[in-house]
Amino acid sequence: MAERSFPMRAWYAFIRVIVGLLAFGLFRLRSFHRERLPATGGYLLLSNHQSHLDPPLIGFVVPRRVNYLARDTLFKNRFFAWLINSLDAIPIDREGLGLSGLKETMRRLKRGEIVLLFPEGTRSPDGEIQPLKPGFSALVQRTGVPIVPVALDGAYQAWPRKAKFPRPGKVCVVVGEPISLETAKSLDDRALVALVDERIRACHAEARARRES
């Protein structure tokens, strides 16, 4: 994919402003440890998944452009399909990262971009962190990018899985200590998943404590 056109970059910046207004106005968004986010180079952003609010709110916290994955079922809604296409989302199949989605994700990471993944695979049914799926480890090994763990809390309360629409609330996002490529390569898949799980849970615990304080 060639470098994005000026209209695409301007549209992303405009959407980011709108998300920011909603984030502060409706969800009283607070973020912590943003200085841990790498200023350059590609990396895999791994987060817990509480609600539909997670991608835009985490994307707003990250100052650089974030690439999102979108399940193919989301493209059935005409308006939402137009929106996620306009934001250059990476389509994936219902079972996870299909071959085309995997290739495009790797291409963007190698190009020095950021890709947001939710290793739980789906939204949490109760706001708590579910077991992580190991698929992200292959991306790290093949692309040579670090991992940045992140977690949010309050998104479930603002928009639980069974609710049709969000409601006002308070959301906190915490960025964890990055996991270097050297560390990731020194671990087998099981150990890497365990480390990522530990880091995300630590971020989530801090996010919850700050939200409730």
Per domain, the residue ranges of the chain are 26-212
At the topology level, CATH places domain 26-212 in Glycerol-3-phosphate (1)-acyltransferase (3.40.1130)
Q: Report the predicted TM-score, pTM, of the whole model to 2 decimal places.
A: 0.93
- Other CB atoms closer than 10 Å to residue 130's CB: what's the count? 16
For the chain, the maximum distance between any two Cα atoms, rounded to a whole number of angstroms, is 46
Element (H, E) at 12: helix 6-27
At residue 75, the pLDDT reads: 78
Element (H, E) at 26: helix 6-27
**What is the residue-level pLDDT of the chain in tens, covering all 213 positions?**
457 899 999 999 999 999 999 999 999 999 999 999 999 999 999 999 999 999 999 999 999 999 998 887 777 888 888 999 899 999 887 555 456 788 999 999 999 999 999 999 899 999 999 999 998 999 999 999 999 999 999 999 999 999 999 999 999 999 999 999 999 999 999 999 999 999 999 999 999 999 999
What does the block give as tokens for 105? Answer: 């994700």
State the pairing for strand pair 172-175/147-153: antiparallel
For 141-180, strand residue ranges (E) read: 147-153, 172-175
Residue 102 CA to its chain's centroid (Å): 16
Q: Alpha-carbon distance 117 to 119, whole Å?
A: 6
